[in-house]
Amino acid sequence: MSRANFQAIEEYCFTKSEPLKVPLFVGIGEDENVTLEQAKSSGKESIFNLEVKIFPGNYFFIFDNKKLVANFLTKNINHYQRFTCV
């Protein structure tokens, strides 16, 4: 984790608000200290169904799985495009 991550964790104060009107896509590394249930808890922050994907690796999984992450995001963005204003 970076210094900015620790600062964000220390200073962040959650404020309850209305669920977002945009889909959320959550990716976690299988070797992270985050459970699937913790990741799924983000689902209450959106009116859409939450998509969670577990990738090989740790906190920095995105760097080792660029193609998998891009495919995950592309699939979900394409699915939800019908909800956007163009």
DSSP the chain: --HHHHHHHHH------PPBSS--EEEEETTSS--HHHHHGGGGGBSSPPEEEEESSSTTHHHH-HHHHHHHHHHHHHHHGGGS--
Confidence of residue 84 (pLDDT cuts 50, 70, 90): low
Which pTM does this prediction carry? 0.70
Q: What is the pLDDT of residue 64?
A: 93
- Tens digits of residue pLDDT in 50-70: 989 999 999 899 999 999 999
Domain ranges of the chain: 17-83
- HSE at residue 47, side-chain half, CA atoms within 13 A, is 8
- Tens digits of residue pLDDT in 3-51: 777 787 788 887 889 999 888 899 999 999 999 999 999 999 999 889 8
